A and B are shown apart, each in its own frame.
Chain A
Amino acid sequence: MRSRARFIPVLVAALSGVSSLAIAAPTGTLVIAENETPENLDPANATNSTVDELLLGAYDALVQFPAGETAVSPRLAKSWTISEDGLTYTFTLRDDVVFHDGSKLTAADVKFTLDRLKAAKANVLNDIGPLSGAEVVDDHTVKLTLSKPFGPFLSALSRIYVVNKALVEPHMAEDNARQWLAVNEAGSGPYVIASYNPTEAVSLKAFDKYWGGWDGNHVAEVVFRYITEPSTQLSLLKSGEVQIAPDITVEDKLALMKEPGYVVDVGQAATPLYFDFNTASKGPTGNPKFREMLAKTFDRQLHLDQVLMGLGTLPDGPLPTSWPGHESGTELAFDLAGAKKMVDDNGWAGTTLTVRYLPAIQEEKSAVEQLQSNLAEIGITLNAEGMTWPAQAATVQKVDTTADINMIYSFPPFPDPHAILNASFNSALTGSNGGYNWAQYSNKEVDALLNEAASSADPAKRAELYKKAQVLIGKDFAVITVSYPGSVVAVSDKVEGYKYNAAHHQTFNIMDIGLK
């Protein structure tokens, strides 16, 4: 009979078995289903959400975005000062932080972390701008210098996870500790990575000497289980073997909303989906008039209602409406009759266009189908070419091989207009320059506004500059902003404290979560 009992979900037993004697001790195990496996544990790859969600527990950064907030707050750094010229940031570190091996975290660890990321050409530095160096002032003071001012510098630091110099340094020689940090952890965060089986599960256990302490309701262990199949995630949620299931189908999420025992959380994600028109094309999309016509051919409301089933926000331009610097009304509304008139007036009927997209993503597929059918109505044929991400990314490296239209999401690494607008519209980051500006969009005025905003530290001034940039981008009809899909996560009602974090999209605020 013993083996029979094993098939029954054991979580309830595990939870109720924990004694209530301990004060402020984390208890219970939280199991989170995740459909994509992590590539490794290296903080150099914190740009990747499947890596970031593990590192958020294991490491600390100088500053942080708590879930639900769009402003940075202190973490390892108690306070900081910024020099007049915006080139020097001096951080005062907490003096009570210990790494998981018990040693003290000091300014030398911060400097080592940044030096190592530079040497390793870390992906996470792509977003940190003109960082030139780090200097240890004393044990608890570190000075970071920039080669030119960078407004979102503090925000970008929220993904620079500080590693334990003493542990990592011996592995630097060969490959800047890439191989070692890929499967080992050297952090000071609230959880220790207890086991790492990247195609199966990763387990994190509460670190009892965590400087933040364990007041309140927290879990003793967090397990990420890698479950690709949506129906399997649903089965495990229903059997109580997992408590958080982010990747079940939209239909199942809607059904769970009405079922007792579950909460379906709809987070206001800031990850816009775009149709990028090839603005540098020698073909029809190179003509702004033609793009103006295209800009009227997509029904965003229909997409939100029918594809996202209402779980998202209606877009109003390329920036989330709730962000500072958002400008309203910069993109044209859906107007198929107006588009038809332009097609007739200009003799564009019979034009054939190509759109490239990722068929593995249902939302992209549905959006392409809608655009295809709308364009067909006004006499334009849209060929859809489904691709994989690396293949699609390779096609935009030259203007000549860039399709007339490309679908792409923007995943801002931190909630700042720079993270979306600069990556998607600065001519320095066109596809042909290796960036995500797949519209190959180049407007010197827009570049100047974006660059000026990036180098300013004055929030009000930056907001004004971004507003102006959005107006210009809108007048050039570079993109259609298709949607802001919500981050919809199904959660057992035994879980309390889950909150979507726009600064760490597709991760979980495990430190704030407790079990009832």
Chain B
Amino acid sequence: MRYVGQRILFSILSLCVLLFITFLLSHVVSGDPAIVAAGPNAGADKIAAVRQEMGLDRPLLVQFWIYCSNILHGDLGTSWFTRQPIASDIIRELPPSLELVFVAMVINLAVSLPLGLLTARYAGTTFDDVVRLVVMAGAGLPIFWLAIILQQVVAGQWRLLPTAGRLGFENRDFTGATGFTLLDSLMQGRFDVFADALAHLVLPAFALTLLFTAVGVRITRTAMMGEFRKDYVVLARAKGASEGRIMVRHVFANGATPALTVFGMQFGWMLGATVLVEEIFGRPGIGRYAVKAVTQSDIHAVVAVVFVVGLVFLISNLVVDIALFLLTPRKHAGA
């Protein structure tokens, strides 16, 4: 349990550093938010009044101190542009993005793990070479470019999947308790809405995941390669265990640790990358919210988004770390 405690403490510290850097950076690069907030033709007096109202006339460290103490009370501040508590804005925007990342992650794992395992088993064969070639090509494709191509071809020309949005036109008024459309539709027994939401998720999730999957396949392969050379595999083969059993029960179970650590991090990275996909597929989400906040110098909203994405990143890492610790406690005994 000491290990878990250490991990949590370390995560909280990382988050504080992240907060401070983001806060500092957004103040330095964002010009004068008061000018934007005061609107066109405002005049110096009004801008000064708005600046004061926004608290921007105070020293930076004081602003940061106030901000941190608010966060400790669960208050992420009020957006100067949406005029809503930023926490409630994020609660609205996060589910569609998380849903996209979940689906992307499912595709990622479903492709990376088997392909990684198989290429490790058949390393050096033509199969391995072909997969490596495809994976390298995939890793080189920029997400936004892939997204546009998929949209233009699969949705635009072939009409197999929807072009944009979260739901089809006839379901545009669908709402649910959690904001996760897949979950809400199942809870309400609306399987038609579920299918619709899933169809709208396929292309964006695929575009989002390809780059990560390429990395995933390579990482899994490397991790598994080492296992195949170990004595226990030779022993298992000698005992006459089937090749499938060796791969799944022995190699995979033992070699998955480093790969899973990477997948844990990928979850957070994906959330940060959703913006590229959301803009192209016209989906709501935290990425689009962040872009709007950045262009308007809505500092508190920007910092809050970074905070939340960082939080998700840390949590997903923590979950993986703890899961691995519980699965293979020996490896961490010295920590």
- Residues on A with C-beta less than 8 A from B169 are 9-11, 14, 31, 241
Whether, in the assembled complex, A228 has its beta carbon less than 8 Å from a beta carbon of chain B, the answer is yes
- Residues on B with C-beta less than 8 A from A198 are 82
A2, A39, A392, A433: most-surrounded residue (chain B CB, <10 A): A39
Indicate if the CB atoms of B199 and A6 lie closer than 8 Å.
yes
Indicate if the CB atoms of B84 and A392 lie closer than 8 Å.
no
Indicate if the CB atoms of A229 and B192 lie closer than 8 Å.
no
Separation of A203 and B175 alpha carbons in the complex (Å)? 14
Whether, in the assembled complex, A232 has its beta carbon less than 8 Å from a beta carbon of chain B, the answer is yes
Known: A121-B50, A231-B151, A390-B33. A199 touches B43 (CB 8 A): no
Indicate if the CB atoms of A231 and B172 lie closer than 8 Å.
no
Indicate if the CB atoms of A126 and B46 lie closer than 8 Å.
yes
Cross-chain contact of A199 among B161, B199, B285 (Cβ < 8 A): B285
One digit per residue, 1 when the CB lies within 8 angstroms of any chain B CB and 0 when it does not, for chain A 37-76 equals 1011010010110000000000000000000000000000
Known: A231-B151, A232-B282. A434 touches B192 (CB 8 A): no
Whether, in the assembled complex, B152 has its beta carbon less than 8 Å from a beta carbon of chain A, the answer is yes
Separation of A370 and B57 alpha carbons in the complex (Å)? 40
Indicate if the CB atoms of A391 and B31 lie closer than 8 Å.
yes
Separation of A82 and B53 alpha carbons in the complex (Å)? 37
Whether, in the assembled complex, B221 has its beta carbon less than 8 Å from a beta carbon of chain A, the answer is no
Whether, in the assembled complex, B300 has its beta carbon less than 8 Å from a beta carbon of chain A, the answer is no
Whether, in the assembled complex, A201 has its beta carbon less than 8 Å from a beta carbon of chain B, the answer is yes
Whether, in the assembled complex, B114 has its beta carbon less than 8 Å from a beta carbon of chain A, the answer is no
- Residues on B with C-beta less than 8 A from A204 are none
Known: A10-B170, A195-B173, A394-B35. A232 touches B40 (CB 8 A): no
Indicate if the CB atoms of B93 and A199 lie closer than 8 Å.
yes
Indicate if the CB atoms of A8 and B46 lie closer than 8 Å.
no
B152, B164, B170, B171: most-surrounded residue (chain A CB, <10 A): B164
Indicate if the CB atoms of B39 and A232 lie closer than 8 Å.
no
Stretch at the interface among A175-183, A253-261, A273-281, A319-327: A175-183
| Chain A, 15-47, CB within 8 A of any chain B CB | 31, 37, 39-40, 42, 45, 47
Whether, in the assembled complex, A226 has its beta carbon less than 8 Å from a beta carbon of chain B, the answer is yes
Indicate if the CB atoms of A199 and B284 lie closer than 8 Å.
yes
Closest to B282 in A: A227
- Residues on A with C-beta less than 8 A from B29 are 391
Cross-chain contact of A236 among B41, B164, B170 (Cβ < 8 A): B164
Indicate if the CB atoms of A435 and B36 lie closer than 8 Å.
no
- Residues on B with C-beta less than 8 A from A434 are 35, 38, 42-47
Indicate if the CB atoms of A232 and B33 lie closer than 8 Å.
no
- Residues on B with C-beta less than 8 A from A195 are 173
Indicate if the CB atoms of B36 and A229 lie closer than 8 Å.
no
Separation of A198 and B83 alpha carbons in the complex (Å)? 12
- Residues on B with C-beta less than 8 A from A203 are 172-173
Whether, in the assembled complex, B106 has its beta carbon less than 8 Å from a beta carbon of chain A, the answer is no
Whether, in the assembled complex, A357 has its beta carbon less than 8 Å from a beta carbon of chain B, the answer is no
One digit per residue, 1 when the CB lies within 8 angstroms of any chain B CB and 0 when it does not, for chain A 227-245 equals 1110110011011010000
Indicate if the CB atoms of B40 and A393 lie closer than 8 Å.
no
Number of A positions contacting B (CB below 8 A) = 67
Indicate if the CB atoms of B39 and A47 lie closer than 8 Å.
yes
Known: A3-B196, A123-B39. A39 touches B172 (CB 8 A): no
Indicate if the CB atoms of A232 and B196 lie closer than 8 Å.
no
Indicate if the CB atoms of A433 and B40 lie closer than 8 Å.
no
Indicate if the CB atoms of B32 and A394 lie closer than 8 Å.
yes
B84 to chain A, nearest CB (A): 6
Indicate if the CB atoms of B195 and A8 lie closer than 8 Å.
no
Whether, in the assembled complex, B268 has its beta carbon less than 8 Å from a beta carbon of chain A, the answer is no
- Residues on A with C-beta less than 8 A from B44 are 432-434
Separation of A225 and B296 alpha carbons in the complex (Å)? 20
Separation of A198 and B196 alpha carbons in the complex (Å)? 21
One digit per residue, 1 when the CB lies within 8 angstroms of any chain A CB and 0 when it does not, for chain B 277-297 equals 001111111001100100111
One digit per residue, 1 when the CB lies within 8 angstroms of any chain A CB and 0 when it does not, for chain B 37-71 equals 01111111111011001000000000000000000
Whether, in the assembled complex, B188 has its beta carbon less than 8 Å from a beta carbon of chain A, the answer is no
A57 to chain B, nearest CB (A): 17
Indicate if the CB atoms of B279 and A228 lie closer than 8 Å.
yes
Indicate if the CB atoms of B284 and A197 lie closer than 8 Å.
yes
One digit per residue, 1 when the CB lies within 8 angstroms of any chain A CB and 0 when it does not, for chain B 153-171 equals 0011001111111101111
- Residues on A with C-beta less than 8 A from B199 are 3, 6-7
Indicate if the CB atoms of B282 and A226 lie closer than 8 Å.
yes
- Residues on A with C-beta less than 8 A from B46 are 121, 126, 434
Indicate if the CB atoms of B83 and A238 lie closer than 8 Å.
no
One digit per residue, 1 when the CB lies within 8 angstroms of any chain B CB and 0 when it does not, for chain A 405-427 equals 00000010100000000010000
- Residues on A with C-beta less than 8 A from B92 are 197
Which B residues lie at the A interface, using CB under 8 A? 29-33, 35-36, 38-47, 49-50, 53, 78, 81-84, 92-93, 148, 151-152, 155-156, 159-166, 168-173, 192, 195-196, 199, 279-285, 288-289, 292, 295-297
Which A residues lie at the B interface, using CB under 8 A? 2-3, 6-11, 14, 31, 37, 39-40, 42, 45, 47-48, 121, 123-124, 126-127, 175, 178-179, 182-183, 195, 197-201, 203, 223, 225-229, 231-232, 235-236, 238-239, 241, 387-395, 397, 411, 413, 423, 428-429, 432-436
Other A-B pairs beyond A388-B31, A433-B44, A434-B47, 4, CB < 8 Å: A10-B170, A123-B42, A126-B41, A200-B166
